[in-house]
Structure 1
Amino acid sequence: MKQKVVNIGDIKVANDLPFVLFGGMNVLESRDLAMRICEHYVTVTQKLGIPYVFKASFDKANRSSIHSYRGPGLEEGMKIFQELKQTFGVKVITDVHEASQAQLWLMWLT
């Protein structure tokens, strides 16, 4: 069976390829915290020579309480992700919950 390779920009991910670190936050809590976390991951992964992809959610729709923090939302989340990309040169992944969000995410990526 042919090995599936997933491309995240210039980073290739597959079982038979070198390790890639996906790290970040469960949910974007604030721009400042996202910047500090991403900076730390970038510092460590560059030192170790490990490819790094930032991962966080802009909306945690599956919370057990309707009163729990869900995130900054799509528009504010995309602004934070864009700043992370521009500041640290990282690739970013997130989850989407609706087809309309996927379309906006695709436009943002291109």
Structure 2
Amino acid sequence: GVPTVTDIHESHEAEMAAEYVDVLQIPAFLFRQTELLQAAAKTGKVVNIKKGQFAASEAMKFAATKVEEAGNSQVMLTERGNMFGYGDMIVDYRNIIWMKEMGYPVIMDVTHSLQQPNNGSGVTGGLPMLIEPMAKAAVAVGVDGLFIETHPDPSTALSDGANMLPLHKMEELLTKLLRMRESL
């Protein structure tokens, strides 16, 4: 009963992926690809569009409109930060507010927003110690959902381990965030 999500990278993947998941996700670097957005839309599944690290929030309206014009109003938008220089990401929390004003649910990709690409080792680094405060800030500005990557042992994860939350910390974090949201 847990809804599942997966990225699709090419339009021909949409139909097959839709047989197995509840949400088709458009990666940040591909959010402007019309054929990909249309193919995802035509499956009838929820389409989650991640904002490119190089894009302003206003650009998301065009991507969402492409999905709706293909006959699907089930759209979510995801904030995941912007590049700051060559090796860091930052989040402008105003983007959550502005994207919500477009009329779509907005998700905050907490862990990817803490990535540190191009850190010199050839492997993307991260700042997992900032997961909790970043998630709290997103809740404070009214985000509709959070994307937080987790793993029993992030140091052995095959991908993105440097910015993951250890699984044993997830329940406590979610409890805090739910309590916080209820108090707003």
Residue 102 (structure 1) aligned with residue 170 (structure 2): no
Report if the CA contact (8 A) 1:26-1:56 is conserved.
Answer: no
Correspondent of 1:72 among 118, 122, 127:
127
Structure 1: which 4+ aligned runs deviate by more than 3 Å?
A: 58-65
Give me the whole-angstrom Cα distance separating, in 1, the residues matched to 2:81 and 2:106.
14
- Of structures 1 and 2, the one with the larger relative CO (CA 8 A, separation 6+) is 1
Correspondent of 1:84 among 138, 149, 154:
138
Letter in 2 for 1:77: I
Give me the whole-angstrom Cα distance separating, in 2, the residues matched to 1:102 and 1:63.
26
TM-score using structure 2 length:
0.39
Bigger Rg, structure 1 or 2? 2
Letter in 2 for 1:76: L
Residue 93 (structure 1) aligned with residue 147 (structure 2): yes
Note the residue ranges of structure 1 that are not aligned, 5 or more in a row. 8-12
Give me the whole-angstrom Cα distance separating, in 2, the residues matched to 1:102 and 1:26.
26
Structure-2 change in CA distance of 1:102 and 1:62 (3 Å) = farther
What is the percentage of aligned positions where both structures have the same residue? Answer: 11
Q: How many residues align?
A: 93
Give the superposed CA RMSD: 3.7
- Pairwise CA distance, 1:102: 1.6
Correspondent of 2:78 among 11, 22, 35:
22
Structure-2 change in CA distance of 1:21 and 1:65 (3 Å) = same
Residue 53 (structure 1) aligned with residue 50 (structure 2): no
* Deviations 1:4-62 (CA, angstroms, capped at 9, x unpaired): 7739xxxxx651672111231389x46xx32x1x312321x222211100114266599
